[in-house]
Amino acid sequence: MIDSRGGTGSLLVAGTTSDAGKSLITAGICRWLARQGVRVAPFKAQNMSNNSMVVGVAGAANAAHGATGATPGVGAEIGRAQVMQAQAAGVEPEVAMNPVLLKPGSDRTSQVVLLGQVFAEASATSYQELKPRLREAVLASYQDLKSRFDVVICEGAGSPTEINLRDGDLVNMGLAQPLGMPVVVVGDIDRGGVFAAFHGTVALLDAADQKLVSGFIINKFRGDPSLLTPGLRQIEDFTGRPVFGVVPWLPGIRLDAEDALPIEAYAAGARDGALDGGARLRVAVVRFPRVSNFTDVDALAIEPGVDVEFTASAAAVESADLVVLPGTKSTVADLAWLRERGLEPALAKRAAEGRPILGICGGYQMLGTVIEDEVESRRGTVAGLGLLPVRTVFDPVKTLTRPTGFGLGEPVGGYEIHNGQVRVEGGESLFTDASGAALEGCQDGAVWGTIWHGALESDGFRRAYLAEVARVCGLRFEPDPDVSFAAEREKQLDRLGDAVEEYVDTERLWRLIEDGPTAGLPLLPPGAG
């Protein structure tokens, strides 16, 4: 247990690779600390992800360093992983928790979001020129959080041992070094080679960086942990650093991954059966190359009897009960990809047969008649799929809002992140205001579209929509009236907190947070040779 002194420090959770589990371990640590009465905030200095969310703008750093052109009352955009971690910590997510967000639009360029607002478009080379300005905002945001919270748990990116990127690094050792922050490295044992990865991570760092790396956490272990005992002893002998814990594989965890689609989590988390032995409802989600906010379908995956599959198969699109076209960072390019994959005829056939299709944000824009884009792709006028009477015109100013309304007679809320402005020219409105006036979205037959992300997280609306899908498909499927998306998320966050408490040496972890890096750590060649 944490003593009465309370935490005043910080910790960087780094990883041997991308997708090693840094985001979830960080969330688990935040939940563990929050349970102990510690006021804790997550922090990721620089995040590369197309999974983002709109949050409020708060904190002194944001007022001092906000990007130009921000409109009062308009929200800010940060990575969804940091929103999830804030929820684990029991605090309101805010832009200071992720001051720099990179949103890849192609293999070579990314949109740079600084303190929640679009700052620049950059290539890997030109991004380096922005680093001084970004570093200022990163350090100011960190200090802002540190002044208002007992503890700040930072998440690294990729590996701290990207030696080609060490100069100018903002998020790994480049953050930990000037702040004297202790570092714990997470390794995914399911990939194999975790002990080599631990040793190499330390050995390739220079002496100053090595002094901060104080231990390891093994993640995603399946099997008898006693089999690891010899390896744990040897890696401590070889590096002089302990393994703080071995966290087992946690099946069914679906918590706002940054970019890796949680396909195994959907499969492992699928619930058996539907109510009263009714039919199962099959959902096919089109797997765009630049898919964004695929977390929109997490709310479908928690429903008993709903099977969610990400696919690029025309056959799967034809056979599913519901097809979802999710968001994308590159609407025009991913529309071209959809056509190249032969998905357009399958979607047209579904629409002609009155079988359900749901488009969200970029997917909604594709369903329209025309896309006029001189901003994102600069392709000009492009024909849409023609399945909804809407047209999209891209605007240089990004919309960031948190709207609310009513859909199918149920309260619904969401968030908007888009440059494409959709103009409805027919059909029926999907969402209305309290008076019943048209508010947003379009419905034409069984084809539905909305610019709102997160709408399916509203339990009443989600159940009503799934019931409508079942009715149209002639299925005897009834959504479970007791399923709560928010409650399910809390259960999953509690599972992470439980895992940290049970499988990680939290006493030693707390000493790192409070006292800083372990003194007298050995230095390994060749980095410290």
Residue type at position 332: V
**Could you give the CA distance from residue 393 to residue 374 in angstroms, rounded to a whole number?**
9
Q: What are phi and psi of 407, to 5 degrees?
A: -140, 130
**Could you give the CA distance from residue 278 to residue 290 in angstroms, rounded to a whole number?**
35
**Could you give the CA distance from residue 209 to residue 206 in angstroms, rounded to a whole number?**
6
In a 3-state reduction of DSSP, which class is residue 12?
A: strand
| Per-residue DSSP letter, 8 | -
How would you write 18-67 as a 3-class SS string? Answer: CCCCHHHHHHHHHHHHHHCCCCEEEECCEEECCCEEEEECCCHHHHHHCC
Residue type at position 177: Q
Q: How far apart are the first and last CA of the chain?
A: 39
**Could you give the CA distance from residue 126 to residue 523 in angstroms, rounded to a whole number?**
35
Catalytic residue among 361, 418, 442, 473: 361
In a 3-state reduction of DSSP, which class is residue 407?
A: strand
Closest CA to 220 of 194, 192, 249, 193: 249
Asked if 23 and 155 count as a contact pair (C-beta separation under 8 A), the reply is yes
Torsion of CA 452, 457, 459, 461, to 10 degrees: 20
Closest CA to 472 of 349, 354, 347: 354
Asked if 92 and 58 count as a contact pair (C-beta separation under 8 A), the reply is yes
Closest CA to 116 of 59, 179, 176, 40: 59
| Per-residue DSSP letter, 108 | S
**Could you give the CA distance from residue 431 to residue 506 in angstroms, rounded to a whole number?**
47
**Could you give the CA distance from residue 382 to residue 247 in angstroms, rounded to a whole number?**
49
Element (H, E) at 460: helix 459-473
- Contacts of residue 419, Cβ cutoff 8 Å, sequence gap at least 6: 375, 376, 394, 395, 396, 397, 398, 399
Q: ω before 411 within 30° of 0 (cis)?
A: no
| Per-residue DSSP letter, 415 | B
Catalytic residue among 30, 65, 442, 453: 453
Asked if 347 and 317 count as a contact pair (C-beta separation under 8 A), the reply is yes
**Could you give the CA distance from residue 199 to residue 5 in angstroms, rounded to a whole number?**
34
Tell me if residue 361 is catalytic.
yes
SS3 content of the chain, % helix, strand, coil (to 5): 35, 25, 35
Q: What are phi and psi of 270, to 5 degrees?
A: -60, 135
Considering only CA atoms, give the Rg of the chain. 24
Residue numbers annotated as active site: 361, 453
